[in-house]
Amino acid sequence: MSSVKTKIKNDLWKWNYTLPFVKKHQFDEKGKVDMARHIMKSYINIKPVKATGVRSVGKDIEALLSSVNVEISNESRFVYFIDTQKTIAIPGNILSNFTLDYDRIIHGSFKSLVEDAAGDDEYGREAIAASKGIENLVNRVLTALENSNVDEVIKRKRISDFTNILTRPAVHFDEALQRILFFNQIMWQTRHRLNGLGRLDLILDDYYHRDIQNGEITENLALDIVADFLSQLSRYSDYKSDALEGDIGQIIILGGLNSDGSYFCNGLTRIFLEEQAKIGKPDPKTFIRVSHKMPDDLLRTAVECLKSKTGSPLFSNDDVVIPALKSFGMSDEDAYSYCASACWEPYIVGKSLDQNNIAVFDFFTALDEVLNSKEPKSFTELLNTYITENNNKFKTFLNELDQMKWAKDPLVSLFMDGCNSKRRDVSEGATKYNNYGITTVALSNVIDSLMNIKKIVYDNHELTLKELNECRNSDYKSNRDLYNRIVQSNHHYGHQDHDTIEIVNRITSNMAQIAAEYQNKLGGTVKFGLSSPGYNILSKKTAADVSGRKQGMPYSTHISATDAPYTEVVNFASMLEYDKQRFNGNVVDFFVSPGFINQNIDKFTLFMKSAIKCGYFQMQMNIMDSKTLIDAKKNPDKYPGLIVRVWGFSAYFNDLPESYKDLLIERAATAENMG
């Protein structure tokens, strides 16, 4: 074991193989080693390819792409490969959790991007070096194609696509998809984690319709092409996975409002939704921008796709998200064009360095400290004391973000507005938006704890706050009856309770004001959201609270409630404030039994339509029953393809740690009891 730890610490951490997830969750040493062991199977044999001579990221990229093994498959019309044994070794944190602006190499050319960047300065030289690596890789692909034994017609088509892949705009639909695949694989090869794909129905709209109208493809052939494209992206899941198996981040954005108020969708919107559902893979995933203006039949299609049980699509409500982006100061053009980072955080493609998931803030730490050090005389004093302490912790938390150092990235800089004109790398703050995004956990547990304390201590005078806190710190071993009563009491977070909603908005409003005053080293600010993957990780070393959670148990998940019907949770979410800095992902999270949605598809579609009008921010669902999950845990061999939604991604149930399996089973059972 010691040799394994040494390998991890000396190589994985040094070469930046350690996951951004590890850093943003501030694990202790044992936690880091445990997490690194999870990715050992795909990373331990990776060899860093480093250029000799003067330190140059561009030359490192050139050396890497000139040495990776080229793979030509007979099983696809596309060329897509990743050499899982090689990557780059560069100082600093490599940008991740973002979307490359693929439109620039579809409707434009990579050659033109390089020409704009070229110059006799460091920025220009770095761009040229990186581009030479890509040119070398293209030439080696062409050689491999010439020597391959694939069907001659397919071979000629592939050779034609790669001959022109860098020098001119794409001409056909499948050619455009091949370009996305080629540059996507380069992103993965150069250790950019969690790669989004952008608004593919919009980007590819003209290619699709032109090829259909000209008879180049039929609608059925288009279905096959998209299915093939998605299947290629689903490869190399071990290599691509981030925090957990399946946490890959290849998210496809579909639909959405136009700046003139109309709703955009096309045939590709439905094709991507339906083909993602058909292939039955957890990744890539779909993310549909919904609105009260969207066609009813498209909403019905999206709901039908939920029945595939892949966890897709995620629903993002433009009627709420876009106004929130505008309140942050974004222009109409940028707000209406938003995509998302790997999970759900709004992101402006081609104009943003924004790292939207670099850290997780825990609302509970302030309450834990207050309960252990203060004795407020009233609930009002308790709430005020908590808010003050939470604000202080948030300020300290934000100051720690300034320790982040970003790696030079000449390749990504080519795809970003501002870098070429300013002659500065994307890592140096050359883009329009240079913000940090954080996620949060435990607000639900804090709210329910506060309301239970109010009842037990200040309203009913059953115990003093000191006595209640002693019970909590003993993990309720000293008063099991109290714990049982807390568990059985009504929850508040997720319910249409005016006082609860007012407290939530007051807490987040205070944080938003602090966030607005923060400026990072790149000149950006910070935004936060109420959804995070950390709910089952950060909780492991925390004390019990007063919401019914014992020591080490998971925090509540996203915006959810175990004892409230769907409509009430949606109404609760619609009353939360998402403006200013509070839009970095706010996801209502449901479990729905397959039988319920299968038997009530029309009613459920109407519910979804009403929910959009009601005004939730974002929504995701697990279509799963507890009986299946329990059996899958006992008999994993019976369920090799069982997919569940974990946080902002889906994964195979068998690949999850036991704690996640138990949590999913518990949530599914609770949802069924509510039904």
Who has greater pLDDT, 23 or 72? Answer: 72
Per-residue pLDDT band for 567 (boundaries 50, 70, 90) equals very high
Who has greater pLDDT, 548 or 533? Answer: 548
**Number of C-alpha atoms within 13 angstroms, CB side, residue 176?**
25
pLDDT in tens, 277-309: 999 998 999 999 999 999 999 999 999 999 999
Per-residue pLDDT band for 46 (boundaries 50, 70, 90) equals low
Per-residue pLDDT band for 51 (boundaries 50, 70, 90) equals low
Nearest Cα neighbor of 170 from 101, 106, 100, 79 is 106
Q: Rounded distance, CA 42 to CA 227, Å?
A: 26
In this prediction the pTM is 0.90
pLDDT over threshold 50, residue 17: no
347: left (phi over 0), alpha (psi -120 to 50) or beta: beta
Number of continuous H segments (helices) and E segments (strands) in the chain: 30, 19
Q: Rounded distance, CA 54 to CA 59, Å?
A: 9
Contact 203, 1 (CB under 8 A): no
Contact 554, 567 (CB under 8 A): no
Q: Are strands 618-623 and 314-317 parallel, antiparallel or unpaired?
A: antiparallel
Residue matched to tokens 């998200």: 321
Q: Report the chain's mean pLDDT, rounded to a whole number.
A: 89
Q: What is the mean pLDDT of residues 604-623?
A: 95
Nearest Cα neighbor of 599 from 617, 638, 625 is 625
Nearest Cα neighbor of 417 from 352, 356, 355 is 352
pLDDT over threshold 60, residue 11: no
Model pLDDT, residue 59: 95
Nearest Cα neighbor of 540 from 337, 362, 413, 373 is 362
Residue matched to tokens 């704690």: 659
pLDDT in tens, 221-239: 999 999 999 999 999 998 9
Q: Rounded distance, CA 353 to CA 350, Å?
A: 8
Cis peptide before 313 (omega within 30 of 0): yes
Of 176-185, 468-477, 533-542, 598-607, minimum mean pLDDT range: 533-542
Who has greater pLDDT, 192 or 1? Answer: 192
Sign, Cα dihedral of 286, 292, 293, 298: positive
Question: Partners of 340 in the beta sheet?
Answer: 346
Of 141-155, 349-363, 653-667, minimum mean pLDDT range: 653-667
Residue matched to tokens 């860098």: 166
Q: Are strands 86-88 and 47-49 parallel, antiparallel or unpaired?
A: parallel
pLDDT over threshold 90, residue 613: yes
Sign, Cα dihedral of 189, 190, 191, 194: negative
Model pLDDT, residue 142: 97
Of 138-142, 268-272, 564-568, minimum mean pLDDT range: 564-568
